[in-house]
Amino acid sequence: MVKAVLGIIGGSGIYDLPGLEDVRERHVATPWGEPSDALRIGRVGATEVAFLPRHGRGHRIPPSEINYRANVDALKRVGVTDLVSFSACGSYRDELSPGTFVLVDDFVDRTVRRESSFFGTGCVAHVSFARPVGPALQALVAHAAEAEGIAFHRGGTAVCMEGPQFSTLAESLTYQRLGYDVVHMTSMPEAKLAREAEITYAVVAMVTDYDAWHEVHGPVDVAGLLSVMAGNAARARQLFARLARDFPAERVPCPAGSDRALDGAILTSPEARDPALVAKLDAVAGRVLAKR
C-alpha cells in the first residue's frame, strides 16, 4: 500500500495553515519553473501535510499568471497523493449563499491563457477526465465539514473563467441559466494537471458572493468580498484540521481512476519520445515512462 500524503492548496484569504507540527519550509525546484511559494510541510497527528498558497503569500500572483504546472509538480515531488484545493467562488443559486462551502464534482473550463498539460510534442498523452474529482476524497471532506458543523453542499459544477475581471452581466446570466452552480478562476488547469500527475483531487469552493446575475445583490466588488472571505478562511482552517486529523494513513484507491490515470494514456512509442520532455516528466509520469 502507498502512504497517504495530504496536499492543501490555499486560495484567496488562505496563505498559511496554523496547527501544523514539525513544520519545515521547502523550496522545490521543478522543470516547469518556480511554484507560487515555498511548500510548508508538516503533520497533523500521524498525517503528513504539504501546504502551498496558490497566489503566494501576500496574494502576489493573479489567476492567469499562476504556474500551475510547477505547483502540481512540486506537490508530486514531495509525495502528495491526495490534493484538496480551496477556492473563493461566486454562486449561481439562491440557496448557495455567501459562507457556504460547495464540494463541486465537475467543471466547465473557460480559460484561454494557461498551460493545461504536462505532455506535448514528443510525448503525447490523453487521460480520462470525465470524473475530475475523486469521490472517496470528496467524501472525506464532506465528513469533516459535517463533523465541524460547517454549512456545505455536496456536488455541483464550477465554471472556471480566465479573469482577472469578474463576469459581465451577460456572462453571469448565461452561466446561471445553463444550470451551473458556481464560478471561480483557479480550478483549471489545476484539476487537469493533478489528474495527469495521478494525484486525487477535490475542491472546496467557498462562496463569497452571487456574481452579477442576482437582481437583489448586484455586481461583485472586492470591498464586499473581504469580510466574507475572512469568515470563509477561518472555517477552511477548521475544516482542514478535522480532515487532516481523520485522514487515512494509506492511500485509498480512487473510484475515478486518478491514482492510475496514466495507465495506457501515453500514445507516443518509446523510441519516438523526446528525451528532454521525458526528463521533465520524471515526477509526474515516471511510474509509467519507466515501463517498456
> Would you name the residues annotated as active-site residues?
209, 211
Query: 1 and 251 in contact (C-beta within 8 Å)?
Result: yes
Sign of the Cα pseudo-torsion (238, 43, 139, 128, in order): positive
One-letter amino acid of 204: V
Per the DSSP assignment, residues forming a β-bridge with 106 are 157
Residue 33 · residue 155 · CB < 8 Å: no
To the nearest 10 degrees (0 to 180), the angle between helices 68-77 and 282-289 is: 60
Give residue for cell 437583489: 216
As a whole number of angstroms, the distance between CA 253 and CA 263 comes to 14
Angle between helices 222-246 and 135-147 (to 10 degrees): 100
Rounded to whole angstroms, the Cα distance separating 100 from 228 reads 10
Cα angle for residues 11, 224, 230 (degrees, 5° grid): 45
